[in-house]
Chains A and B, each alone.
Chain A
Amino acid sequence: MSAETTPVNDATSLYDADNPAPVIEAPRKRTGKTPKTTRTNFELYGWLFMRLSGIVLVVLVLGHLLIQLMLDGGVSKIGFAFVAGRWASPFWQAWDLIMLWLAMLHGANGLRTVINDYAQRDNTRFWLKMLLYTATVFTVLLGTLVIFTFDPNIR
């Protein structure tokens, strides 16, 4: 019982009022050496985006899988005619467009995190991310172009 009520500044304690415990700097604390350009809340918004886009993507992607891979014969029915039928509706065009943008940005941000975690050399990390950003911009623009310029009477 007495052990629980013993004051901290007893004979065996390393710390007292004159000799306080050392202050431990918080991980990734911003210091004077932190470049000014990183002093934004980008990572916070990235973190929030992953969660918000994730919730929307659960609906969009699982619905997409259900329609494309499971209902009406599964993958059997897919072909140019099936795509033409679906993209005749602005609803499914919007569905696919939003899904494309959210999925690509969600995936690109995820891969950015993975690259930051595992690529240790500065140069490797930089070029892997440049490759990622190039592929992401290309894919998003290509997909958007295809949805907006789709022509069912191409032939």
Chain B
Amino acid sequence: MPAGTLYRGREGMWSWVAHRVTGVLIFFFLFVHVLDTALVRVSPEAYDNVVATYKTPIVNVMEYGLVAAILFHALNGLRVIAVDFWSKGPKYQKQMLWTVVGVWVVLMAGAFYPVLQHTLRTLFGS
């Protein structure tokens, strides 16, 4: 461990880092998302125009990334609550993180087609 740092590495620190990074990213998206939704008060065309951007392949892939960030933040958040409120939480925090990672991988695999179906169908035909 380098001198002059309190960072301990391993599951505890890296899950904390990932929780921060995903949290900040989600907050910035939320800000933009409220602004784009506010366009329904301008005109149906203005709203549908900006939603068309959400249907392009690149942004559709970013939506899969958004789901990935939110899903990790949600699952790890439940783990943080368990660490804080469950008497054995701190003892099992590592096992709980790997459970979070496992559930995340399964749900992300399950979300792959539903989230990206728009792009998959437009790029590779019906």
Residues of A within 8 A of B (CB): 51, 54-55, 57-58, 61-62, 65, 69-71, 73-76, 78-81, 83, 100, 103-104, 107-108, 110-111, 114, 135, 139, 142-143, 145-146, 149-151, 154-155
With a cutoff of 8 Å between Cβ atoms, the chain A residues found around residue B9 in the complex are none
**Given known A-B contacts A54-B77, A58-B77, A74 and B114 have beta carbons under 8 A apart:** yes
Contacts of B77 in A (CB 8 A): 54, 58
Question: Closest CB of chain B to A155's CB: distance in Å?
Answer: 6
Q: Please state if A107 and B26 are interface contacts (CB–CB under 8 Å).
A: yes
A-B contact count, CB below 8 Å?
107
The distance from the CB of A29 to the nearest CB of chain B, in whole angstroms, is 19
Contact indicator A142/B38 (Cβ below 8 Å): yes
> Which of A54, A74, A103 sits near B116, CB closer than 8 Å?
A74
Contact status A62-B38, CB under 8 Å: no
CA distance A89 to B27 in the complex (A): 27
Contact assessment for A154 and B23 in the assembled complex, using a CB-CB cutoff below 8 Å: no
Whether A139 lies near B34 (C-beta < 8 A) is: yes
CA separation between A69 and B26, bound complex, in Å? 16
Task: Take A74-B116, A76-B118 as given contacts and tell me if A69 and B27 are in contact as well, using a CB distance cutoff of 8 Å.
Answer: no
Contact pattern, B 23-50, Cβ under 8 Å of A = 1, otherwise 0? 1101100110011011011011001100
**A75-B54, A79-B48, A146-B38 known; A70 vs B70 contact (CB < 8 Å):** no
The contact sample of 12 A-B pairs, CB cut-off 8 A, is A54-B81, A58-B78, A62-B70, A70-B114, A74-B114, A79-B47, A79-B48, A80-B40, A80-B48, A100-B34, A107-B26, A143-B38
Q: Which residues of B contact A73 (CB under 8 A)?
A: 117-118
